Amino acid sequence: MTETGELTYRRIHQASPELLFDCMTTPEHLTHFWGPTGTTTPVDNITIDLRPGGAFETTMVNDADGSTYTMRAVYAEVVRPDRLVWVEADVEGGMRTTITFVDLHDGRTEVVTHQTNVPAPYLSAEAQAGFVTSLDRCDAYVATLTAEHAHQPE
């Protein structure tokens, strides 16, 4: 068996837990940020069956050469708007991703992404840097949503 590890990423967004949960569970949102810089994930390449035991699949397309990478997972927990857990059975050891949405009660939400059974290649500095660019893309996308909402008449 290959060595595995754990990773934790934290981000604070100027958005509600509900909005952030929706961004992580709706293909029309995910298509805007899923995957590292240099990839796209067309909405037709995203499958979400949002229930424990339901499928979560994405196929990212490399912008430079058109190659694809498919992530296949099964939801283990779905607790709106607080927690999402999925397991990638295709990844040796069954990498488990837990995303917790923590309401800071001031209009901000802390999103904590914790991964266990992370295979060694995903633990490399390069792989982690790629993952962080996906989080950066999510930050930018959520900022556009909250800016749009702020400019809408009541």
- Asked if residue 60 lies in contact with residue 38, where contact means CB atoms within 8 angstroms, the answer is no
CB atoms within 10 A of CB 37: 12
pLDDT band of residue 152 (cuts 50, 70, 90) is low
pLDDT tens readout for residues 52-107: 999 999 999 999 999 999 999 999 999 999 999 999 988 777 999 999 999 999 99
Domains along the chain with CATH numbers: 4-150 (3.30.530.20)
**Residue 81 CB partners (closer than 8 Å, separation 6+):** 16, 17, 18, 20, 21, 101
- pLDDT reported for residue 151: 55
Nearest-5° Cα angle at 76, 37 to 126: 25
- pLDDT reported for residue 1: 47
Q: Which residue is associated with the tokens 């949102």?
A: 29
Nearest to 75 by CA among 98, 46, 41: 98
Q: CA 124, CA 135: separation in Å to the nearest integer?
A: 17
- pLDDT reported for residue 92: 75
pLDDT tens readout for residues 24-55: 999 999 999 999 999 999 999 999 999 999 99
Q: How many CA atoms lie within 13 A of 106 on its CB side?
A: 4
pLDDT tens readout for residues 108-148: 999 999 999 999 999 999 999 999 999 999 999 999 998 87
